[in-house]
Amino acid sequence: MADLLLALTDLLFFARIRTMAEARGLTLERARTPEEVLERAHAARPAAIVFDLHEERLAPLRTIAEVKADAALREIRTIGYFSHVRNDVKEQALRAGCDLVLPRSAFLARLAELLDEIAADRMRAPSPQ
């Protein structure tokens, strides 16, 4: 079971998030295809899925919509980040159902806070039977 699912391919960004997540006791997985996002979300029931909204191989807008349309997954928090010059991507992600959409710089600035929220949510969640 992972606390956080990362739908991104940038290994440096993955490593940065992993370091901060592990410091908070969070576990994470990375998905490299839309199918993996859905499979891992069903298997791990993460507290959140983070999407690189520009990663075309992951079809993030379609995948977010599929997560939100799935009764078993729709409560999973979805967070997307985008290039600040592409406000059209922000609007599209919000229409797809993404819970929080931030420019990449704002996502990085708020990453510690977001991870703290996820860690707190996990501590409050009932243990799986």
Q: What is the CATH number of the domain that holds 25?
A: 3.40.50.2300
In-domain check, residue 25: yes
pLDDT for position 126: 56
What is the predicted pLDDT for the residue at 123?
Answer: 77
Question: What is the rounded end-to-end Cα distance, in angstroms, of the chain?
Answer: 13
Residue 31 domain-assigned (yes or no): yes
Range of the domain at 27: 4-104
In a domain, 88, yes or no: yes
Number of domains in the chain: 1
Between CA 29 and CA 10 the distance in angstroms is: 13
The model's pTM: 0.92
Q: Is residue 117 part of a domain?
A: no
Residue 47 inside a domain? The answer is yes
In Å, how far from its chain's centre is CA 122?
15
Residue 79 lies in a domain: yes
Strands 77-82, 48-52: parallel, antiparallel or unpaired by DSSP? parallel
* Cα separation, 48 vs 3, whole angstroms: 7
Give the long-range contacts of residues 101-109, CB within 8 A, separation 24 or more: 101/53, 106/81, 107/79, 107/81
SS3 42: helix
Instruction: Look at residue 110 and tell me if it is in a domain.
Output: no
What is the phi/psi pair of residue 32, to 5°? -115, -5
**How high is the pLDDT of residue 125?**
64
Q: Which residue has tokens 């409560």?
A: 75
pLDDT along the chain (129 residues), means of 10: 91 94 95 96 95 95 98 96 86 96 95 94 63
Q: Is residue 129 part of a domain?
A: no
Cβ atoms of 98 and 79 within 8 Å: the answer is: yes
Cβ distance 37 to 63 under 8 Å?
Answer: yes
